[in-house]
Amino acid sequence: MVVVGGSNPLVATIFCSPVGLGVHTSKGLIMMNDVIAYKDGAFLIDTQTALASSKTYEDKILFDNSKDALEVIRHSCAHLMAQAIKALYKDAQFFVGPVIEDGFYYDFRVSEKIGDADLKEIEKKMAELANAKLPIEKIYTTKAEAIKHFANDDLKQEVMLRIPDGEVSIYKQGDFEDLCRGPHVPNTKYLRFFKLIKVAGAYLGGDEKREMLTRIYGIAFSDKESLKDYVTMIEEAKKRDHRKIGNELKLFTFDDEVGAGLPIWLPNGGRLRSKLEKLLFSAHRKRGYQPVRGPEILKSDAWKISGHYQNYGENMYFTVIDEAEYGIKPMNCLGHIKVFQSEVRSYRDLPLKFFEYGVVHRHEKSGVLHGLFRVREFTQDDAHIFCTPDQIKENVLEILSFVDSIMNTFGFHYEMEISTRPEKSIGDERYWEVATQGLKNALDENGIKYGIDEGGGAFYGPKIDIKITDALKRKWQCGTIQVDFNLPERFDISYVDANNEHARPVMLHRAILGSFERFYWYFN
């Protein structure tokens, strides 16, 4: 075992511990220009690791609110919170405490019930620990030694089931230690501007069949002003909470007897929804879209052909009818493929545009359900365009124009992001390359700025994600445009080309609002 980042400058000692034999190298905590980490290519390296290495790291991460700095600060603050919880609740045991987009959280087990009212006391203890300026040590050991070290902690054993064999690391500050790959700041003195947001429940490992742990969410910044601005935003968000507004305006409700994640639209909400549906219906028809409707339940054989069964099955609901398995649709694309297949198609017919307000069902875990934002039943403003390969760009541009019209109508600012092939996907690599390049060309040739989300595409094709900014400057996923060569191939659909030969169409999947449910949520 090697320990780095101690409190006495330039001191090295050999010592034994319950975890193993190793070298304790300590080069102090005095940091020039508030360097809290380094970057080695795409990887963040904490100062503890850098001090123990013979390599020189030129790319410094300073103590500020940059993306990289906040990742280190917030990861460290999760451990500070855990240390405070352990000091207040002696029997607390900890699972994982990752950084997330809007802060951090920690999942843990405790015998006492902890609620939002207890967060102030935890914050107070965190402040005491931060002011104590505790050095944060990184301890290198092996997974086998760590298993022995945490032999009496079943949650840590669960964590180690999820990591590969070989070297692992433990971070220690004061009397608190936890298994973690880091990176962390070198001292708790850098963790002064934080706020605990809420207490929630979370199933162990996200498995609904396992025990429910306590989860606390928090946020942290490098300065007081940024924290103050964030807290103000949170307070504004509470005032705009669509669940509160929906109840006050009698738009929608949920009922435990009906089931979690299944919204019930009340008369006021029904009228609002109807007006939006009429507006969109007219806009679609003006652009040449034809209304269609597919069934909400299809034989599993169809989902196996599409690849949903193998790649998306964990998000679907299945049932057996007349000894045959059926799947409730999580997407509308298969129904629209069957519409295309219902008669012989000519190249003169293309592009063919079908649209549907399609009701879909997805098996969301109970822990992520959140009002209309994350539900198990929702309605997509879904459409599919069947076109020739050389019609991809013009149709993507037409969709982008449609998006711009709708977003401007509702006063939304939006951004674009191209999501590329995920690890779990289907189809030939050349199809993915052509489809991805087609999306990039459409945006590039029209001077539209976009980001790249590597590996964020659908399992059957790359996509453009439309992300809107709400009144509190938060960004949310809204609509999507996807280029798909794979489903037409898998269902062997074709059209008759100018040479009277069968040719394969390209399928464009498209939703502008995303879903009616989530779109109503955006208004707040």
**Cα-based distances in Å from 125 to 12, 85, 93, 412:** 32, 8, 17, 42
- pLDDT value, residue 522: 61
Digit-coded pLDDT (tens) for 96-136: 999 998 899 999 999 999 999 999 999 999 999 999 999 99
Digit-coded pLDDT (tens) for 40-89: 888 899 998 888 887 888 889 999 999 999 999 999 999 999 999 999 99
Q: How far apart are CA 292 and CA 349, in angstroms?
A: 16
Nearest to 318 by CA among 305, 309, 306, 328: 328
Considering the domain boundaries, does residue 57 fall inside one? yes
Q: Are residues 163 and 266 in the same domain?
A: no
Task: Enumerate the active-site residues.
Answer: 333, 362, 380, 382, 384, 463, 509
Contact at 8 Å (CB) between 192 and 127?
A: yes
Residue type, 311: N
pTM: 0.68
Structure tokens at 487: 């489903």
Considering the domain boundaries, does residue 64 fall inside one? yes
Residue type, 239: K
Cα within 13 Å of Cα(37), Cβ side? 28
Q: Are residues 444 and 360 in the same domain?
A: yes
3-state SS, 373-417, equals: CECCEEEEEEEEEEECHHHHHHHHHHHHHHHHHHHHHHCCEEEEE
- pLDDT value, residue 87: 96
- pLDDT value, residue 328: 97
Structure tokens at 420: 């590329």
Considering the domain boundaries, does residue 327 fall inside one? no
Q: Are residues 143 and 263 in the same domain?
A: no
- pLDDT value, residue 473: 67
Considering the domain boundaries, does residue 312 fall inside one? no
- pLDDT value, residue 345: 97
**Cα-based distances in Å from 364 to 117, 204, 221:** 29, 16, 31
Digit-coded pLDDT (tens) for 410-442: 888 888 899 888 888 878 888 788 888 888 888
Considering the domain boundaries, does residue 226 fall inside one? yes
Q: Are residues 27 and 168 in the same domain?
A: yes
- pLDDT value, residue 476: 76
34 C-beta neighbours (distance < 10 Å), count: 14
Range of the domain at 350: 252-294+342-522
Mean pLDDT of the chain: 87
- What CATH number should be reported for the domain holding residue 505? 3.30.930.10
CA–CA–CA angle 62, 65, 68 (5° rounding): 65
Q: Are residues 53 and 136 in the same domain?
A: yes
- pLDDT value, residue 2: 52
Nearest to 138 by CA among 76, 189, 83, 71: 76
Nearest to 482 by CA among 395, 388, 410, 404: 395
Considering the domain boundaries, does residue 311 fall inside one? no
Nearest to 80 by CA among 197, 200, 215, 177: 177
Residues of the chain below pLDDT 50: 6-32
CA–CA–CA angle 20, 23, 27 (5° rounding): 140
- pLDDT value, residue 18: 34
Q: Are residues 187 and 271 in the same domain?
A: no
Whose tokens are 């905590």? That residue is 29
Q: Are residues 93 and 167 in the same domain?
A: yes
Task: Considering only the C-alpha atoms of the chain, give the largest distance between any 2 of them, rounded to a whole number of Å.
Answer: 82
Considering the domain boundaries, does residue 9 fall inside one? yes
Q: Are residues 358 and 224 in the same domain?
A: no
Considering the domain boundaries, does residue 429 fall inside one? yes
Contact at 8 Å (CB) between 491 and 497?
A: no
- pLDDT value, residue 15: 31
- What CATH number should be reported for the domain holding residue 185? 3.30.980.10
Instruction: Transcribe 272-308 into DSSP letters.
Output: HHHHHHHHHHHHHHHTT-EE----SEEEHHHHHHHTH
Digit-coded pLDDT (tens) for 285-307: 999 999 999 999 999 999 999 99
- pLDDT value, residue 478: 81
Contact at 8 Å (CB) between 69 and 183?
A: no
> How many domains would you assign to the chain?
2
- pLDDT value, residue 235: 84
